[in-house]
Amino acid sequence: MKYNKNLISRAKELRKNMTPQERHLWYDFLRHYPIKIYKQRVIDNFIVDFYCHQAKLIIELNGSQHYSEEGLAYDKERSNVLNSYNLKVIRFSNYEVDNNFEELCKTINNIIKYQVKSLNDVEY
């Protein structure tokens, strides 16, 4: 899988300045997940919010800008490129993080368990 080295410094900056929803998901769930999950990872010409290599899974959190016509078109193209690497992209709205966190975490856990068969015994 290729990546744009020019984006590494921007990814580091984004790691230090996560949105409140990214921070909540990271510190309250993903950070201590039983398998490694990276935050603000460079893949191809994109910086994805969260990436689990073992599950070939990208988790994106979407603010309101993602729901404009341009935002939806960009996300579709971005997902197509990432899917071409055999990666699964799942998206959640900031609203879901703020208002349905437990269910969101269960959904992520179930997807990871499905993607990584050896994790069937992992409980959230």
Q: What is the CATH number of the domain that holds 56?
A: 3.40.960.10
Work out how many domains the chain is built from and give that number: 1
Taking only the tens place, the pLDDT of each residue in 30-50 is 999 999 999 999 999 999 999
Amino acid at 59: I
Task: Tell how strand 57-62 and strand 38-43 pair up.
Answer: unpaired
Inter-residue contact 74 to 88 (CB < 8 Å): no
Taking only the tens place, the pLDDT of each residue in 110-122 is 999 999 876 655 5
Is pLDDT of 74 > 90?
Answer: no
Q: Determine, yes or no, domain membership for 123.
A: no
Q: Determine, yes or no, domain membership for 124.
A: no
Burial 42-67 (b: 16+ CB within 10 A, else e): bbbebbbbbbbeebbbbbbbbeeebe
Domain that holds residue 65: 5-116
Q: What is the DSSP letter of 34?
A: S
Inter-residue contact 74 to 32 (CB < 8 Å): no
Highest mean pLDDT among 50-64, 73-87, 98-112: 98-112
Q: Determine, yes or no, domain membership for 122.
A: no
Q: Determine, yes or no, domain membership for 35.
A: yes
The CA–CA distances, whole Å, from 94 to 19, 45, 91, 97, 109 equal 9, 23, 10, 5, 18
